[in-house]
Structure formats: C-alpha cells, structure tokens
Amino acid sequence: QQQVKQSPQSLIVQKGGISIINCAYENTAFDYFPWYQQFPGKGPALLIAIRPDVSEKKEGRFTISFNKSAKQFSLHIMDSQPGDSATYFCAASRFSNTGKLIFGQGTTLQVKP
Amino acid sequence: DVKVTQSSRYLVKRTGEKVFLECVQDMDHENMFWYRQDPGLGLRLIYFSYDVKMKEKGDIPEGYSVSREKKERFSLILESASTNQTSMYLCASSSSGRADNEQFFGPGTRLTVL
C-alpha cells in the first residue's frame, strides 16, 4: 500500500515564484521526513529533512512545513529558479528504523525563465 | 567525494535472460538498497541489505534476487527478465543505525527488456 502520497505529479512555476509540493502519510509511527531532489540523468540527493518536534525547517530558499495532527508535510521553494527544475521526492521513516525510507510518487518541477 | 557507482547506465536485454545489475559504494556503508523508479510510482524498494550476506525484502521483491558478498558491492539479479521489469534501477547506500543517515544514490541503470 502507498503510505506516503505526494502531489502534484507535475508543477510549472514562473521564475521568482513559490513552488509548493505536498505530502501526506498514514503511519503515525513515522518520525523522520526527508526531501530528495533528482536532476535528469542523476540519482536523487538529500535536499532537506525534518523531524516532527518542529513545525518548520528552513535552509536557504527551501522550507519544510510540518503538520503532525494532519499527518502532512510540504516543501516550499521560494524565489524559484530555472536551476531548481528537477524531480522532488518526499519520504518518511521511523527514526529507529534501519534507514529504510518510504518515498512518495515524485513531483516534476519546471521553473520557466 | 562519496560515490555510488552502477555498472551500466543503459542496458537492453531479451525476455527470459538473466540480468545482473552491479552497485559499488566507496563509503564503507553498512546499508545498501535497490529501488526501481517508474513515473507516477516514485521510488519503490526492491531489496535492502544491512550487512554482508544479509538481506531483507522490500515492497516489490517478486522476480528479483540480490547478492552481497562484500561490504562495498550489492548486486541485483533478474533471474528471468520480463517486459514489466523495464524500468530505471537505482542503488543507494547509507551508514547504519539511524533513519536520518542520508542515503547516497548512484546515477541509475535504465533497463529495457524486449
């Protein structure tokens, strides 16, 4: 079963705009939520991650917002740039786990100049 | 610079062939993973290994097997390739013990089964 649901599947944003990607999870035991970024021809790479003891984490133009009661988290990309065009995956895991992640379906972001 | 390498970027095989996908990491990581990536389905875990000769099934292990004889090398085997195994295959590795240890991915192998 799909334990992490990601939307939208694709997103087109103008340069300078805000990109927002949403994820919802089912398992309340999840307590680690990373986002991975994948450029064409490359493997995914860790972008930013959050644990549920905080509601927001910001790194540069990238922010994760976390809503524990709604079991949702989202990635916001401020001042989106053409270089941000990539596929983004949210994921979830139990912190005490062996390192296995459950990934969302992915969002392909295109930032138009 | 940390590195996960995969033996082939592109591979074309015939239905029924035995296929080997090789992955090597140079970070002395305990954990290694094989995923397949399909549009709209994200990354789905096929198999996971947490130590040499140790393996655990992921979400979609049917039709696949794995081998880990050395710490740095993790192989994915398709015993009898089928057209529905046409996909992008990604290998990853991470250090052990904690879920927040970053997974480092290889560039992927795009496998086409005719």
Cβ separation A96–B94 shorter than 8 A:
no
CB-neighbour burial class of residue A96 (10 A; exposed 0-12, middle 13-18, buried 19+): exposed
CATH number of B4-96+105-113: 2.60.40.10
* Dist CA A90 CA A26 (whole Å): 14
Instruction: Write the residue in A95, A101, A102 that is nearest to B103 by C-beta.
Output: A101
Cβ separation A99–B105 shorter than 8 A:
no
What is the pLDDT, as a whole number, of residue A2?
A: 60
Cβ separation B43–A97 shorter than 8 A:
no
> Which residues of A are less than 8 Å from B39 in CB distance?
106
Domain boundaries, chain A: 4-112
Instruction: Write the residue in B50, B95, B102 that is nearest to A46 by C-beta.
Output: B102
Per-residue pLDDT for A95 more than 90? no
DSSP A41: T
Q: What is the pLDDT of residues A66-77, one digit of tens each?
A: 999 999 999 999
Instruction: Write the residue in B31, B42, B100 that is nearest to A32 by C-beta.
Output: B100
Per-residue pLDDT for A99 more than 60? yes
Cα separations (Å) of A56 from A12, A22, A23, A76, B112?
A: 24, 14, 14, 11, 41
What is the pLDDT, as a whole number, of residue A16?
A: 97
pLDDT band at A1 (very low <50, low <70, confident <90, very high): low
Say if A107 is an interface residue toward chain B (CB within 8 Å). Answer: no
Say if B108 is an interface residue toward chain A (CB within 8 Å). Answer: yes
User: In the sheet that B19-25 helps form, which strands lie side by side, from edge to edge?
Assistant: B4-6, B19-25, B73-78, B65-70
Say if A69 is an interface residue toward chain B (CB within 8 Å). Answer: no
Domain boundaries, chain B: 4-96+105-113
Per-residue pLDDT for A98 more than 80? no
Per-residue pLDDT for A107 more than 80? yes
Structural class in CATH, domain A4-112: mainly beta
Residues linked to residue B43 through DSSP beta bridges, in sequence order: B37
Residue whose pair of structure tokens reads 């992915």 in the numeric block = A106
Are the C-beta atoms of B72 and B4 separated by less than 8 Å? no
Percent of chain A with pLDDT over 70: 96
Distance in Å, alpha carbon of B4 to nearest chain A alpha carbon:
10
**Which chain B residue is nearest to residue A93, measuring alpha carbons?**
B99
**HSE of A44 in the Cβ direction (CA atoms, 13 Å)?**
31
Instruction: Return per-residue pLDDT of chain B as tens, 114 residues.
Output: 669 999 999 999 999 999 999 999 999 999 999 999 999 899 999 999 999 999 999 999 999 999 999 999 999 999 999 999 999 999 999 988 766 778 999 999 999 999
pLDDT band at A97 (very low <50, low <70, confident <90, very high): low
Cβ separation A104–B42 shorter than 8 A:
yes
* Dist CA A73 CA A79 (whole Å): 20
Structure tokens at A97: 């786990």
Q: Which long-range contacts (CB under 8 A, 24 or more apart) does B58-65 make?
A: B58/A100, B58/B33, B58/B34, B60/B36, B64/B34
Structure tokens at B114: 């005719």
Q: What is the pLDDT of residues A20-50, one digit of tens each?
A: 999 999 998 898 999 999 999 999 999 999 9
